[in-house]
Structure 1
Amino acid sequence: MATASGSKYVMGKKGERRLKDVELCLPICAGTVSFWQGKKADEYNAHKWTVYVRSPVNEDLSPAVKKVVFHLHHSFAEPVREVLEQPFELTETGWGEFEITATVHFVDEAMEEPFKLAHGLKLFHTNDQPLTTKKPVVSETYEELVFSEPTEEFHKKVVPITPKPAPPSPLLPHFPQHSDAEEFGKISKARERIANLVSAAKQQAGGGPIKMEVN
């Protein structure tokens, strides 16, 4: 799930013991899967879609993530939806595309502020490919969250750990594939840049994880 490096301790703002010169990297994905309703479609419910937050290799996120709060378009009756357990998924119907914000809340041991991930709902295939009820429209964003000087308790909770598979999701056959080798390669490249991010992370007001741009 995560990788880390470094040693020694430093006291946090709330008296918690944090690991000095350690960076914890958590790969995470946010995305949407949309199904055109075909003959069932009407003017306002042409698509049935699901927004989700998951591990890129379908590992259990519970050691790190407590809940996810999805912020939908204000036209929905309840635009703010809280999902307390995996799979972190929310399903709705509609007709238009808009940006969804997923606020990731970490476990209490992390003592970190929530992190917001923005992802655009995609309802149509690219290149004018016709819609079909048999092939969903899938869109996913990969991120790497870097925790600078994580708490000792959070580190113990997630590293080292034998990864468990995520709870089953009906969307699993449609998720983009990410190989362990590919993701570990991305993490290795990210860790090469961590040294340049440490000073910036320490200057962030209130601390918290920072997003790594992955090419």
Structure 2
Amino acid sequence: MAGDTADRIFTGTKGEKRLKGAEVVYPIVTGTVAFYLGKKATGTASHKWTVYVRGFNNEDISHVIKKVTFYLHPSFNNPARDMTESPFEVSEMGWGEFEINIKIYFHDDAFEDPIEILHHLRLYADNDSSAQQSTKKPVVTEAYDELVFNEPTEVFHARFTAHDPPPAKESQAAPFFLEFSPQQDLDKINALRRRIAQQKAGLLQQFEAPMS
């Protein structure tokens, strides 16, 4: 096996050693948890919220991710927040919903460019700001994503295969993390595709039927 691996190693554009034909897929979750402040709410701070990037199994992801920058709305002081340690999260208070740009940086030995993910901060369930809100039940919005590394560097690949990440450090949002089932999501997508295909076939039959 060692010989096979050695045969697959090639030199990248920056002199790094990469594994030809190899691929690493690493699942992550981006999310926000927003609490209504109730009687403590003001015109400029109706909610306290936390935005985060976490491991799919709530494991420590610092062996993969070096830094996460959260770009908040420009109205916040210091809107670009750099987080260089796990948990990768930012907590704030505010009154409005907006898109948070999340930029993820990888360790230097990965020789990979950072990626950007957009996450919508939701403060209100069902997007209804007039509905009665609870101060105990937060609005949780999470999205499953996958980091895909094609032909990763030899060092980076070795860390993936040899490292068993410990549980993540305690996050204040952890009690509200959702449980994901990628297979269920895939089943829903496939079912929708089948339904669309059936509808398309039905329409084609109608158009192709002879006029009486």
Shorter-chain-normalised TM-score: which range?
0.7 to 0.9
Aligned residues: 179
1:162 shift after superposition: 2.0
Q: Deviation per CA, 1:54-81: give whole Å up to 9, x if none.
A: 0111011011001100001111121101
1:100 aligns with 2:100: yes
Residue type of the alignment partner of 2:19: L
- Give the Å deviation of 1:132: 0.6
Match of 1:88 in 2: 88
Alpha-carbon RMSD: 2.0
Q: Which has the higher helix share?
A: 2
In 1, Cα distance between the equivalents of 2:58 and 2:109? Answer: 22
Residue identity matched to 1:140 = E
**2:133 pairs with 1:148:** no
- 2:14 aligns with 14
Q: Structure 1 CA distance, aligned partners of 2:143 and 2:70?
A: 15
Match of residue 35 from structure 1: 35
Stretch moving more, 69-78 or 157-166: 157-166
Measured in 2, the distance between the counterparts of 1:127 and 1:75 equals 22
Q: Distance in 2 between matches of 1:79 and 1:171?
A: 20
8 Å CA contact retained: 2:61, 2:165: no
Q: Percent identity?
A: 48
User: Residue 39 of structure 1: SS of its match in structure 2?
Assistant: helix
Q: Is the 8 A contact 2:32 2:121 kept in 1?
A: yes
* Secondary structure, aligned partner of 1:96: coil
The AA in structure 2 aligned to 1:21 is: G
In 2, the alpha carbon distance for the partners of 1:16 and 1:156 equals 14
Equivalences for residues 1-215 of structure 1 within 5 A: 7=5, 8-126=8-126, 128=128, 130-178=132-180, 182=181
Unpaired segments ≥5 residues, structure 2: 188-212
Deviates more, 1:74-83 or 1:93-102: 74-83
Q: Deviations over 1:75-101 (max 9, x none)?
A: 112110101101101001110000001
Larger Rg: 2
| SS of equivalent residue, structure 1 residue 21 | coil
Partner of 1:198: none
Q: What amino acid is the match of 1:16?
A: E
Code of the aligned partner of 1:107: H
